[in-house]
């Protein structure tokens, strides 16, 4: 399982883009990069995942570095409902969570 490093916290204003970084320098060639988020008092929920190519879905975009040692989760227009702890996880077999990044969104 890859060790991931994320900033403890980030802030954003509503309607602005947010770039959440993650370093996973020990990731293996076959491990997927997963992003989950946890809203207050809820279980984690899936955001996005990818292997090598950049990925987009209705929630976010995932930009993966060419060497796969880092990735960035992009929220294109932050809303108050995006305030959560975001977890970057690098493995395929099972999810091992780190401490994540707590995102605060201000009106």
Partner 1 sequence: IAGITQAPTSQILAAGRRMTLRCTQDMRHNAMYWYRQDLGLGLRLIHYSNTAGTTGKGEVPDGYSVSRANTDDFPLTLASAVPSQTSVYFCARKGPFIYTFGSGTRLTVV
Over the window 19 to 58, marking each residue x when it contacts partner 1 by CB under 8 A and - when it does not, the resulting string is -------------x-x-x-----xxxxx--x---------
Length of the chain: 107
Note whether 97 binds partner 1 by CB under 8 A: yes
Note whether 100 binds partner 1 by CB under 8 A: yes
From CA 41, how far away is CA 88, in angstroms rounded?
19
Q: Which of 15, 65, 99, 106 binds partner 1 (CB under 8 A)?
A: 99
Note whether 5 binds partner 1 by CB under 8 A: no
Note whether 86 binds partner 1 by CB under 8 A: no
User: How many residues line the site for partner 1 (CB under 8 A)?
Assistant: 18
Q: Which is nearer to partner 1, 12 or 100 (CB)?
A: 100
Q: Which of 3, 16, 95, 106 binds partner 1 (CB under 8 A)?
A: 95
Give the shortest CB-8-to-partner 1 separation in angstroms.
11
- R_g (Cα) of the chain, nearest Å: 13
C-alpha distances out from residue 105 to 42, 53, 65, Å: 18, 28, 26
Spell out the SS3 assignment of 22-89: EECCCCCCCCCEEEEEECCCCCCEEEEEECCCCEECCCCEEEECCCCCEEEEEECCCCHHHCEEEEEE
């Amino acid at each position: 399982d890859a060790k991931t490093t994320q900033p403890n916290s980030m802030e954003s204003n509503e309607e602005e883009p947010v770039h959440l970084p993650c370093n996973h320098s020990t990731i293996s060639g076959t491990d997927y990069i997963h992003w989950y988020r946890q809203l207050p008092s809820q279980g984690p929920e899936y955001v996005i995942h990818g292997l090598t190519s950049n990925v987009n879905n209705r929630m976010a975009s995932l930009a993966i570095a060419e060497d796969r040692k880092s990735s960035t989760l992009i929220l294109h227009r932050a809303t108050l409902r995006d305030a959560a702890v975001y977890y970057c996880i690098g493995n395929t077999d099972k999810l091992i969570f780190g401490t994540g990044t707590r995102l605060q969104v201000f009106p």
